[in-house]
Structure 1
Amino acid sequence: MSEAPHRDVLITGIGLVSSLGEGLDQHWAALKADGGPRPVVDRERFAPYPVHPLVQLDFDRQIPKRGDQRQMEAWQRIGTYAAGMALDNAGIKDRTDILSRTDMIVAAGGGERDIAVDSALLTDILAASDPGRLINERLSSDLRPTLFLAQLPNLLAGNISIVHKVTGSSRTFMGEESAGIDAVRTAHARVASGQSEICLVGGSYNAERLDMLLLFELGNYLWREDWLPVWQRLSRGGGLVTGSMGAFLVLESPAHAAQRGATPVARLDGVRAGRCRRGPGEATAIARRQFDELVSGLTGGERLAVFSGATGAQPATSEEQVFLTSLRHADNHIPIRAVGSIIGHGLEAQFPALVALAALAVSHGMLFAPLDDSGCEADGSAPIDRVLVTQWGHWRGEGMALVAPAG
């Protein structure tokens, strides 16, 4: 689905945390480091699965009450922290007159399991004469009896509202990569159509959890070997490497931004979302349509780059690589970057993080060095004008966005 925009949508604030660092300056410094970007990978804690761990954060900076921190799971703390950074970056932190009418759209996953409790219960079940009775007894003590895990995504928006006083309308989307795509799409559509003047949108993901690694392993999605860039994993069967991250954007109408004297980081020109059963060629057909809709209005002189959220999981990543390479062959001035090579894959947070990094790149008017030497990623040392963000989910969901300079 897509909506025809009626007015420009500005990105006036970005909050971003990942394995590369905290905030825009640290991320840009890491991406532009001498010798090219270098990933931060934890190979030991969850062996044989590599993980991109979150940079060390002082949560007190954005979540000052320790009581608030204690009642949040890790992914909620990450998201609440990134949301506060975005509000700070937009210049509206503690501006209750603005926050009271700031809409919020959050992409979130399910709640985190208590691994120690689950493991102990499974061990006890093996020796129990009546496993059903044992489970019922433990529900009243060890296990959470009152909160269905799928209800927990709403708690991220609730915590952001409580901690940062964002009290406009609130929506939470759940559904892996598609949730992040649709959250940004909906926020863009609301601002573009005049339904919202300012909106906080984003998501977070904690990759450092055994329950999610087990889930992905059961689906045969994970990469088990030493870290390799996304495209270079394909010749060895593919696989995703998850990454902890939080990414939030403040989207705003030009009139509202001008009224409060805000300086935008970039402009979000359009967002598209689609979904198919992933039959042969179906995802490519959706991506081709999205590309034609978003890029058709650009002039021949526009210098375009692509930030791909390719996961590494097969067969989707190989199909996406063929599609993106066809774009490069059609126009040799389109360099590609598989951003997951450097920050990992963050599911619901991945698309907001890609848009955030695209905004950062267009604000500087340049790219960073290729993230691998497979030949899929061109040099890209020339200046860029726009970045096309693409995101194919590891299982379902295809999205695209076009990010342009603010001016």
Structure 2
Amino acid sequence: MQTNLADFIKNTRAGKEADDILRKCVHCGFCTATCPTYQLMGDELDGPRGRIYLIKQVLEGKPATEKTQQHLDRCLTCRNCESTCPSGVQYGRLLDIGRQVVEQQVQRPLSQKIVRETLKAILPRPWIFQPAMRLGQSLRPLLPQSLKNKVPVRQESGSWAHTSHVRKMLLLDGCVQPAMAPNINAATSRVLSSLGVELIVTPKAGCCGAIRHHLNDHEAALDDMRRNIDAWWPLVEAGAEAIVMTASGCGVTVKEYGHMLAHDANYAQKAERISALTRDLSEILPEFEAQLVQKLQGKLSQRIVWHPPCTLQHGQQIRGKVEGLLKALGVDVQLCADSHLCCGSAGTYSVLQSKISYQLRDNKLHNLLATKPDMVLSANIGCLTHLQSGTETPVKHWIELIDRALANSALSE
């Protein structure tokens, strides 16, 4: 694709990156075949190729409009198109650049501003979000369905494993997951402790930065990233061997810290090191497959359907690891039709684009439940909450299944 970027962005870091990405696009349209919003709406401008044209026009000097913003807002940032693209177009990075430029040119309605500012203010701050979630859970029977969908039934986490081990890894507790599904990280600590690994949570680490970044507040997101690096760095220097991610949405963001902070002389090298150490839980547990098989001895017999989050299969390009491990442990693992498509959660998307989001959720649940599973398993808090809001079938993080099996196995010995 030929480009002629406008002077306001031509020689900037963002402009040079956008120009490189745009030039890789060959207009083939393969991306439209795997774009969830294009599949729903059939509008070229609601597919990756159309959005690339819109971004190109804005970067070349054409003023952005409300329509431009609307089409970019409707993108889930699922990055399915990146998995499909034969030319290696890094669409997600281009979209980030395009959205920020459009945000500077187009004045949003007051109602949108209030919602977006509220999300940025509350979600990344556990000291606000957790009490708010607790209140919502206590009032859940009285809430309208639209709010019930965002407020999962309260669950207990069980005890955290406090046994000291020689092997030590860091864990990002996250911002919303501890309030919405506290058992996930506690279960991870118990499973890894049983395998001889101690998980350490650093209190000063918080939101990975994804929420503010995808709401176009890039500077605040970079501050979130710097804070996490500062919190982790002493333990990294002390020899922590990995930074474990139990939410794939956080994982894909932390793995990009090196890119995000490459321009920051004070943090560039540290950020690269943090990204290199970051591993999704599905990259760690398969290393312990033999030990888990021995501990469980075929005692897992559930029939599950696996929903791979977009941030895992497209963002991090991790496929097959969870399914392979569970199958080795005796689980009947199913994949649904169109398992590559987004469930519609996509961070704050289910709030900001609720109509599209719930259409995608219902389509996904139809395919998932057609496999007649005992439960649905996934790997990202947003997907878990979103899918559970539409079904009575249990939707859990896959580590919770292993944790429960290990506990039952210990009781039977």
TM normalised by structure 2 equals: 0.27
Larger fraction in strand: 1
